[in-house]
Structure 1
Amino acid sequence: MIDPNAEVQKDRRPAIVICAYDSDHSGWDPIEDLSGQPWSPQGARTVAVPSADPETLASTLSAHMAGASCRALLLVGRTRRSDAFRIQMRAENRALTGGQRADVNGPAMARATVPVAEIVRALNDAGLAADASSDAEEDTGSYLLYRVLSGLPYGPDAPAIGLLRIPDQAGEDAVQRGVKVAATAIARHLSPLARS
């Protein structure tokens, strides 16, 4: 007989953390229907992390990335430098308050590990103008990208971590589509979780 109190089987899909770090300006809503379930791309599940102060958020995101089931992080923010969606390919070691370093012992910069070309191609194919840039904007998004990337342990299987910047004039529908397209492109590169 099946025990009705037995633990439900664990979801074995790899997790993609999606964090709109500036909730006032993001336009991203992970739960878009009345089901109460967050949207997820095929083959993966999403974990929404709400915005918070940058230090708390950096710690929370790093803790998620330390978990075995979390295989990707997509930061979502705005850009004032482009009229297109933009994948930021690197982040510099800078404190939020100005020109000093965020980590005195850390590398000068950290590179995003998401499949940049595939995300840009997918966004363009979806009718959303997109490009990639090495220019880091001096804001919370760049700070978080650097902190999470530089805090990863060394190893051959690095999680996919990136920052999707949305143009200021993009409406909520475009934001929703852009985040979904980017997360779906990331999910295609994630390997299934081990059974044990």
Structure 2
Amino acid sequence: MTALDQIPTDTRPGILICAWEAEGSGWDPVEDLSGEPWSPEGARTVPVPSAEPDALASTLSTYLNDDRCRALLLVGRTRKADGFRLQMRAENRTAEGTHRPDDVSPSVARATAPVGDMVRALQEAGLAAGATSEAEDDAGSYLLYRVLTSLPDGSATPAVGLLRAPEDESDDAVQRAVKAAAQAIARHLAPLPRSRAY
């Protein structure tokens, strides 16, 4: 049984939230003693723990092949900015950024999440935020590329985005940013048909 199967009558679409850095801090999906992860209005959060990049890319792609899961928000840190960054594209590079592992796949993949709305939501939450086309040579960019290029054909494209927090940003600010970004994504998601409810 996966996290998607735990509530059999839930018609809210699933949003995967994955902080890819095992040692990273900031995003904790469980806010209280209930043990239930926080969810935005109209959607259901599905927390995915960090793992080795190739295994994690496969796990995330498997979730997104399930019609009940309609979005993914990757969460990590940036070394290149003082504010939050929504990364709009990723290149065909290894997790270390050293070379192109595949000469057949596209050189660039573009995020499908509503980046403009996400930036506005962060700014309305009092956080400095912007969008960027500049990728960083790390597992976050690698995961974004791998997931985007493995999305299934013939169905509505899931919303996939990557949120980066400044390295020295407080955990509280990261929590607020993740929530604001997820709420912006959720506003674009339709409820699941009853026949596909979890």
Same fold (TM over 0.5): yes
Note if contact 2:140-2:162 (Cα within 8 Å) is conserved in structure 1.
Answer: yes
Note if contact 2:96-2:137 (Cα within 8 Å) is conserved in structure 1.
Answer: no
Aligned residues: 190
The letter for the 2-side match of 1:112 is: A
Secondary structure (helix, strand or coil) at the match of 2:194 reads coil
Secondary structure (helix, strand or coil) at the match of 1:22 reads coil
Note if contact 1:30-1:38 (Cα within 8 Å) is conserved in structure 2.
Answer: yes
In structure 1, the residue matched to 2:133 is 134
The letter for the 2-side match of 1:27 is: G
Note if contact 1:26-1:78 (Cα within 8 Å) is conserved in structure 2.
Answer: no
Please give the alpha-carbon distance, in whole angstroms, between the structure 2 residues aligned to 1:170 and 1:148. 26
TM-score (norm 2): 0.92
Per-residue deviation at 1:156? 5.6
Label 1:178 to 1:103 Cα distance change in 2 as closer, same or farther (>3 A): same
Per-residue deviation at 1:60? 0.3
Per-residue deviation at 1:15? 0.1
In structure 2, the residue matched to 1:116 is 115
Note if contact 1:27-1:172 (Cα within 8 Å) is conserved in structure 2.
Answer: yes
In structure 2, the residue matched to 1:16 is 15
In structure 2, the residue matched to 1:3 is none
Secondary structure (helix, strand or coil) at the match of 1:142 reads helix
The superposition leaves residues 19-65 of structure 1 with CA deviations (integer Å, 9 ceiling, x where unpaired) of 00003123100001111000000000000000010011000000000
Rg bigger for which structure? 1
Identity %: 63
Is 1:179 aligned to 2:189, yes or no? Answer: no
Gap regions ≥5 residues in structure 1:
1-6
Q: What pairs with 1:1-196 in structure 2 (closer than 5 Å)?
A: 9-155=8-154, 157-196=156-195
The superposition leaves residues 62-95 of structure 1 with CA deviations (integer Å, 9 ceiling, x where unpaired) of 0000001000000000001001010000000001
Per-residue deviation at 1:102? 3.2
The letter for the 2-side match of 1:39 is: W
Per-residue deviation at 1:121? 0.6
Please give the alpha-carbon distance, in whole angstroms, between the structure 1 residues aligned to 2:148 and 2:7. 33
TM-score (norm 1): 0.93
Note if contact 2:30-2:38 (Cα within 8 Å) is conserved in structure 1.
Answer: yes
Note if contact 2:26-2:170 (Cα within 8 Å) is conserved in structure 1.
Answer: yes
Per-residue deviation at 1:98? 3.9
Note if contact 1:26-1:76 (Cα within 8 Å) is conserved in structure 2.
Answer: no
Gap regions ≥5 residues in structure 2:
1-5
CA RMSD after TM alignment = 1.4
